[in-house]
A and B are shown apart, each in its own frame.
Chain A
Amino acid sequence: MLKIFNLYAFSLIICIAPIFLSAQVSAEIIHNERSLYRNIIVEDTGDLRCLRFNVKNSQSSQSCFLKSNPQSLVFNYTKLLFSALLVNNQPERILIIGLGGGTMSNTLQQIFPQSRIDNVEIDPSVIKVARQYFGFFENEKVKTYTQDGRIFIKRALLKKQKYDWIIFDAFNGDYIPEHLLTKEFLTETKRLLSENGVLTSNTFSSSKLYAHESATYQSVFGEFLNVRNKKNNNRIILVSSQQLPSDKDLLQRIEGLKYQLSPFNIDIAAIYSSMASSNTHQDWPKKTRLLTDQFAPANLLNLE
C-alpha cells in the first residue's frame, strides 16, 4: 500500500515539477517581508527587478528597473512626472513624497547632481528594501526621512523651507492616505512651493475619486495640467506657482530637454503631446464635492 502511494506521489512530483521550474524562471521572488504597513515583495523577472506591495495583483508594481541598465526608466508614469521640467528646468530643491524603489530620486540625482533631494517615506521597510535591492543612492544632498508626508510638509513650513519641485508618489498602493488628498493639505503644499515651484502628483485616472480630486486641485491651484499616457490608467496632475509657460516657450524648452533626458528613456516631446489643461478639458461635473480634512472618504470613493 505504502509503495503504491509512494509511486503515486513520485509521479505527481514529476508532473508538477516543470510547472514550478518554469514559474521560477519567469518570476523569482528574491525578497518578501511584512512591514508595519504592507507586504513588500521584490521580484526578478529576467533582467527586470520590481517592487510590489501586494501578492495577488500583478499590476500593482511600485517601482521597476532593468538590472543591466538601471538608469533607463521602465514605468510610463515615472516618465510623465518629468513634464514638470517643462515648467521649471532647473529645480534646485526637490521633495519626493513616497519613495518606492527610489528610482525617481536616483534619476533626478543623475540629471541634477547639484540639487538637494529630500525623500519622505512612511514605511522604514520600504527605505531598507530600496537601499538593498534597488541601488537607492543617498549622499549629503540626497536625504531620506521616515515620516508621514503631511507632517513633513507641516514641519517644513514651520522652518520656512521652499521647494522648486514637489512630487507626490504616495497613491499607487492599495490603501490611499486620505489626509494627502484634502484641500487643507494642498493649501499647505502650495505654501511650500518656491516662486517658480512646480508640483506633480501621480494619482487617479478612474473611479469616482477622479472627479473629487480634480475639483479639489482646481479649487486650490486654479488651472492645472493633466498628463496621461495612452492607456489612460495613470495620470499626473501638474500645477505651477507661476503662470504656465506659453506654447512657444514650451516648444523651446522641449528642444533643450530632449538630449538631457533621452539617456533615461524619456521622450519629452511625447509627454508634451499628452498634456491637457483643466481649463479647456474640464471633464468632471461642476458641482463635485471637494475633499477636505472633514470629508475625505477616498478609499471608499475609489471603489466606485
Chain B
Amino acid sequence: MQNTWQNPLIYLLAFTSGFCIMGIELLGGRILAPFFGSSIHIWGSIITVFMLSLAIGYLVGGKYSTQSASLKRYGGIFIIAGLFILPIALFASPIMEWIFLLIEDSRYGSLLASTALFFLPTIVLGMLSPYSVRLLVTDKNESGQVAGKLYFISTLGSAIGTIVTSFYLVLFFEVNQIIISFSLILVILGLGAILANKYSTAQEVNYA
C-alpha cells in the first residue's frame, strides 16, 4: 500500500538533487579559479569528474536499490550526500593549496582537485536517480514512463539549479553560503523522507 503523497515527495527530492548537482558543478569553476585559473581545461576537469561520478553513482544506486529498498534508505542517501558536500565549503582551500604545490600543470592539478572535492558527493547524488525509479515503479508496463517522468523532473531541477545559481545566487551570496545551504536542504529532505517513512509504516501497522 502506497500513500498518495509518497510519489510527489520522491519527485520533489529528485528535483532538488538535480538542482544541487548542477548548482555545485557551476560553482566548481569559481572554487577552482583561485588556484587553477579559468583556462578552458578547468571546465574539462570539472565536467569529466561530474560525468564520471554520476556514471558510477547510477551503477551503485541501481545495485543498492535491489536490497530491500525503502523511503528510509532513500532518505539516508540524501543525508550522506548533504554531509559529503560540506567539505567543499569547509576544506576546499587547504586541499587545493596542497594540490597546487604538488602539481605544476594546472590541467592535472585541476583534475585532481575536482576529484578530491566533487567525486564522492556526486557519486552519492547520482545514486538517487535509479533508487527513485525503484521506489516509483510498481508495474513493469509503466516502468519506462515512470523513468521518463523522473528524468524529466530531475533534469528540470538541474536546469533551474544552473540558471538560479549563476544568475542570482552568486549575486547575493558567498560561494560557501550557497554550498552549505545545498547541504542543509539535502539533509533536511533526507530527514523528511525518513520521517515520512516512519509515519507511513506506523499507519500501516494501525490499519493492520
Contacts and interface: CB of A to CB of B under 8 A. Distances in A.
Interface of A: 36-37, 122, 147-151, 154-155, 158, 177-179, 182, 184-185, 292-297, 300-301
A36 B171 contact: no
7 contacts: A148-B37, A150-B34, A151-B37, A178-B30, A185-B34, A294-B176, A294-B177
Contacts of B39: 122, 148
SS of B interface (majority) = helix
B43 to A, nearest CB: 11
Interface residues of B, number: 21
Given A178-B30, A178-B33, A300-B170, A154 B100 contact: yes
Interface in B157-187: 167, 170-171, 173-177
Contacts of A36: 40
A301 B167 CA distance: 11
Contacts of B176: 294
B97 to A, nearest CB: 9
Contact of A122 (B37, B100, B101, B177): B37
A148 B106 contact: yes
Contacts of A184: 34
B34 A297 contact: no
B33 A179 contact: yes
A292 B175 CA distance: 10
A151 B106 contact: yes
Contacts of A154: 35, 100
Contacts of A177: 38
Nearest to A301: B171
B171 A151 contact: no
Contacts of B170: 295, 297, 300
Given A178-B30, A297-B170, A148 B175 contact: no
